[in-house]
Amino acid sequence: MIQLILFLLIGAGLLLVLFALSRRAVPAERSATTLLEARQALDALQGMLPPSGALGRFLAEGDLAYITSCTPPNIQQLFMRERRRLAIFWAGQVHHSVRALRSFHLGQARFYAKLSLATEMELALSFTALLLICRALQIALYLGGLSPARPMLGRTARLVAKLCVVSATSFAFLESARGRGPNRERPEGNSALTATN
């Protein structure tokens, strides 16, 4: 009788191990989509950065100089409103991409990358800081407009750039996900347009 119970317990234990292993295998099967999403989020972040990305383009001093020197106040106001709207949109897009990248990191990255504790900490801090800063930036833009929020935009962009470097190094395997998506390669030297690849 005791032997039977022992065998049953061993059997149940083996079943539990198999169940745990099968649950670990599920993410691997979904890996193509997950990797692609993470790659897209990383590309989107890189594509939003100055100088060639959208932020650099819509904060270009040349446009502002042209508007202030050649147009009446009502057009200057329209221009500033539009730029503010774009900056708020940019902060929202960064927030969205950082969240996507964080979800990938929390849910999947450990299956692919062996990250050191220091890198883990750095990534966790960057994710949290950026998510908070993006929301603060949006509020600052709503309340104060573009001009006072300009330095904050610059700081956010630098943080995003730093996160991109750490993420790109840590998740080098994401390179293999490039080109698997529905969107094909875009022209060279046009990083703002490659954001959704």
Partner 1 sequence: MDLQAQQAAVQAASQEMRRRTLASIPRPLDRLIYLASLRDYNSGLYYHDGLASRFSEEVVCEALAECHREAFGELFSLPLEELVEQVEAYVNSTHAGWADFIAAWRGLEPYRVAVPVDTERLSAEFFFSNLKVSLAILEHRLRASSERQPGAWPRRSPAQ
Count of residues that interact with partner 1, criterion CB under 8 A: 37
Sign of torsion, CA 165 170 171 176?
positive
Which C-beta is closer to partner 1: that of 151 or that of 182?
182
Longest dimension (CA), the chain: 96
Which C-beta is closer to partner 1: that of 151 or that of 187?
187
User: Is residue 190 involved in binding partner 1 (CB under 8 A)?
Assistant: yes
Q: Angle CA(93)–CA(99)–CA(101) in degrees, nearest 5?
A: 105
Least distance to partner 1, CB of residue 194, Å: 8
Footprint of partner 1 on residues 126-155 (CB under 8 A)?
Answer: none
Least distance to partner 1, CB of residue 163, Å: 18
Which C-beta is closer to partner 1: that of 40 or that of 108?
40
Footprint of partner 1 on residues 32-51 (CB under 8 A)?
Answer: 44, 47-48
Q: In Å, how far are 76, 92, 120, 145 from 123, measured between CA atoms? A: 40, 20, 5, 30
User: Is residue 159 involved in binding partner 1 (CB under 8 A)?
Assistant: no
Tokens of 14: 């083996």
User: Is residue 79 involved in binding partner 1 (CB under 8 A)?
Assistant: yes
In contact, 11 and 88? CB cutoff 8 Å:
no
In contact, 87 and 156? CB cutoff 8 Å:
no
In contact, 38 and 101? CB cutoff 8 Å:
yes
Among the listed residues 127, 130, 153, the one whose alpha carbon sits nearest the alpha carbon of residue 140: 153
Part in contact with partner 1 (CB under 8 A); list of ranges 71-79, 108-116, 128-136, 154-162: 71-79
Contacts of 107 (CB under 8 A, 6+ apart): 27, 34
Least distance to partner 1, CB of residue 54, Å: 5
Task: List contacts with partner 1 (CB under 8 A).
Answer: 44, 47-48, 52, 54, 57-58, 60, 62-63, 66-67, 70-72, 74-75, 78-79, 82-83, 85-86, 89-90, 93, 182-184, 186-187, 190, 192-196
